[in-house]
Amino acid sequence: MNEWEWQLLEDRTSAESVSVSGVEVRKGDRVRLRPRAGGDIFDLALDGQTALIEAIEQDYEGKLHLAVVLEDDPGKDLGMLRQPGHRFFFSTEEVEPLATPTILVAGIGNIFLGDDGFGVEVIRQLARSQFPETVRVADFGIRGYDLAYALLDGHDFTILVDAVSRGGAPGTLFVIEPDVTGNSAMDAHAMNPESVLQLARAMGPVRGRILLVGCEPATLGGEEGHMGLSDTVAAAVEPAARLIEDLVARLLRGDKLEQALNNSPKGTT
């Protein structure tokens, strides 16, 4: 295709949206590439890859094509600038729409019980980060019923953030799927992940996968309570926030949960 022909295509008005397998997709949406059989070597290499729609373009006959940029392309920014080699065209029959998962990141804890305020502090740290609209970050503190109702909203993933004792060294971070059978030992305080999950399931169906990003506490304030985190747990707040950011990014990218957990930063279990 010569420069004049490219200019003709560039001068065409881009479509705002297009229907793919009955789903309306727009610029910025995620798709999985499924090139038709009999394609070239690029089609073989790109088959199954996930990509972002950069634009919806028309050819000479008015047929719509998706200009996409691979999510894992180190030169993705060049693709967004419409540079050749980082931007590819596919027909609507050659892609599968991927819904962006919804994620709830919920902080749990009582700031008057020492390290029990860990989840609250991590949420405060995450408040400085930018997340897409499908990610809700909220501090629930000791409001167990509010969190239980939020768990009934049907999120694809829920990440609970809390100080939980598992017998490790204070400040140790871990990522697990909580046991909600009633047999777990997670009972660091009255509002713990296990009790909230059991309350939510008693109220209605809880959809999606549940994760716990926990931190081993040094102290829960004693009988009289204490406001403020211990030094070891305070030092774990920022690493925990970065861990959650990484985990959210992987889940939004479409990684399977097990794959996302396996790729979590070192220091988690």
Considering only CA atoms, which of 23, 28, 32 is closest in space to residue 54? 28
Read off the pLDDT of residues 160-191 as tens digits, 9 standing for 90 and up: 999 998 889 999 999 988 765 544 444 434 56
Read off the pLDDT of residues 62-90 as tens digits, 9 standing for 90 and up: 788 888 988 778 887 777 777 777 888 88
Please state the rounded mean pLDDT for residues 38-66.
79
Read off the pLDDT of residues 91-138 as tens digits, 9 standing for 90 and up: 888 988 877 788 999 999 999 999 999 999 999 999 999 898 889 999
Domains in the chain, CATH or no CATH each: 3-98 (2.30.30.140), 103-262 (3.40.50.1450)
What length does the chain have? 269
| DSSP state letters, the chain | --HHHHHHHHHSPPPSEEEETTEEEETT-EEEE-PPTT--HHHHHHTT-EEEEEEEEE-TTS-EEEEEEETT-TTHHHHHTT-TTS-EEEEGGGEEEEPPPPEEEEEE--TTBGGGGHHHHHHHHHTTS---TTEEEEEEET-HHHHHHHHTT--SEEEEEEE---SS-TT-EEEE----SS-----SSSS-HHHHHHHHHHHS---SEEEEEEE--S---TTT-B-S--HHHHTTHHHHHHHHHHHHHHHHHT--HHHHHHTSPTT--
pLDDT at residue number 44: 78
Is the Cβ–Cβ distance between 269 and 176 less than 8 Å?
A: yes
pLDDT at residue number 248: 94
pTM > 0.85 = no
